[in-house]
Amino acid sequence: MSHFVNMEVFSNYQKYIDHEQELRENIRIVVREIEHLAKEATIQLQVIHCDLSKIDAACSLSRKQIEACAEKYQKLSALVPPGQYYRYSDHWTYITQRLIFLIALVIYLEAGFLVTRETAAEMLGLKTKHSDGFHLDIEDYLLGILLLASELSRFATNSVTMGDYERPLNISHFIGDLNTGFRLLNMKNDGLRKRFDALKYDVKKIEEVVYDVSIRGLSNSAESKEQPKVESAE
């Protein structure tokens, strides 16, 4: 009896499917390890909302978790076949954005400026060019930075509660510059554009905190900014 279907073809298909499933499972295992480290770093940094004196220690501990993530990304890089980064990137996109947020928060708390994509990539052991293989995608970097705005708006409110009335003004200047920078971009990515749209609410929330501090006369910086100079009559 003739066979119109070559069953060996399906056997080969099954081998491909089995290999693909095994590869994806190995990727998921490493990603879960990264997620655990990121969770630990997040927990460490939550202390900034209740005890300003522990900020330096929290940043130091978080850096250790981030350094450990770099080793995990090296494992991911070894797993992903050359030239197939975007085929599997959906597994690590979200956690990478989350780590960029954590790195940006640590750098801001330590030095008060915005971390660059190059520095963030270096901290995670990633490249910055697509042609170099496993890299930090620009959109993942930008989405991570936008997560920072929401955290800083919360931090501004809690800083006032803890008696630090100058910090909200500094945060307001930083987020204002960040907002200006993002407005220079022509964002065609839907997720990025939607997240940027939410930035205006973070800006507004921080401005309300600064206004409240200023109107109550709690911040010397805000007060001196709003009061006009009075020239003495001669």
> Is there a domain that residue 146 lies in?
yes
pLDDT of 57 = 97
Question: Biggest alpha carbon distance in the chain?
Answer: 117
Q: Dihedral sign for Cα 50, 54, 55, 60, please.
A: negative
Asked if the model's pLDDT at residue 217 lies above 70, the reply is yes
| Residue 119, token pair as written in the block | 């520095």
> Is there a domain that residue 96 lies in?
yes
Asked if residue 192 lies in contact with residue 143, where contact means CB atoms within 8 angstroms, the answer is yes
* Dist CA 124 CA 72 (whole Å): 9
pLDDT grade for 102, boundaries at 50, 70 and 90 = very high
> Is there a domain that residue 231 lies in?
no
Residue 24 domain boundaries: 9-216
* Dist CA 57 CA 60 (whole Å): 5
* Dist CA 225 CA 211 (whole Å): 12
Asked if the model's pLDDT at residue 225 lies above 50, the reply is no
pLDDT, the chain, mean: 89
> Is there a domain that residue 157 lies in?
yes
Above pLDDT 90, what percent of the chain?
72
pLDDT grade for 230, boundaries at 50, 70 and 90 = very low
pLDDT of 223 = 45
Binding residues: 151
- Give, as one character, the DSSP assignment of residue 81: P
Mean pLDDT of 50-78: 96
> Is there a domain that residue 121 lies in?
yes
Give Rg (Cα) of the chain.
24
pLDDT grade for 7, boundaries at 50, 70 and 90 = low
Give the angle 151-153-155 at the CA atoms, nearest 5°.
Answer: 70
> Is there a domain that residue 136 lies in?
yes
| Residue 174, token pair as written in the block | 């930083």
pLDDT of 5 = 63
> Is there a domain that residue 191 lies in?
yes
Binding residues for Mg(2+): 151
- How many structural domains is the chain composed of? 1
What CATH number is associated with residue 23?
1.20.58.190
Per residue in 32-51, pLDDT (tens digit) is 999 999 999 999 999 999 99
Rounded to two decimals, what is the model's pTM?
0.86
pLDDT of 233 = 37
Mean pLDDT of 100-129: 97
Report the interhelical angle of 138-161 vs 93-111 (nearest 10°).
50
> Is there a domain that residue 13 lies in?
yes
Above pLDDT 70, what percent of the chain?
89
Mean pLDDT of 165-185: 94
